[in-house]
Amino acid sequence: NAGVTQTPKFQVLKTGQSMTLQCAQDMNHNSMYWYRQDPGMGLRLIYYSASEGTTDKGEVPNGYNVSRLNKREFSLRLESAAPSQTSVYFCASSHTEGLGFFGPGTRLTVL
């Protein structure tokens, strides 16, 4: 039982490059989330998926797209990376009580 896994752990991009952050959970949770963490800002919700086949925007969705590939997997894509997207990205999943389980994070730097 691995919980929530994320790949990669670290990534450096140049402005304009694209990449996809991968997330998978093995807890059979319906809901999955992508957050970004910036100093002094706490965690801000980018996108979430309440169930397989649905996605919704969070607080800061601009510049990102998501895909809920199946119940286990929820990916986050940056189509054209910008320095403002330098951050630590966390994926999470939850069951109906709202209790969130978090992955270890992806530290992204955009030059």
Partner 1 sequence: GDSVTQMEGPVTLSEEAFLTINCTYTATGYPSLFWYVQYPGEGLQLLLKATKADDKGSNKGFEATYRKETTSFHLEKGSVQVSDSAVYFCALTPNSGNTPLVFGKGTRLSVIA
Q: Which of 23, 105, 108, 110 is the binder for partner 1 (CB under 8 A)?
A: 105
Residue from 21, 33, 76, 87 in contact with partner 1 (CB under 8 A) = 33
- Measure the CA–CA gap between 107 and 26, rounded to whole angstroms: 22
Binding of residue 5 to partner 1 (CB under 8 A):
no
Distance, CA of 66 to CA of 60 (rounded, Å):
13
Q: CA torsion, points 81, 82, 83, 84, in degrees to nearest 10? A: -110
Give the Cα separation of 87 and 47 in Å (integer). Answer: 15
Q: CB of residue 88 vs partner 1: minimum separation in angstroms?
A: 9
Residues 34-63 that bind partner 1 (CB under 8 A): 35, 40-45, 48, 50-51, 58
Answer yes or no whether residue 96 interacts with partner 1 by CB under 8 A. yes
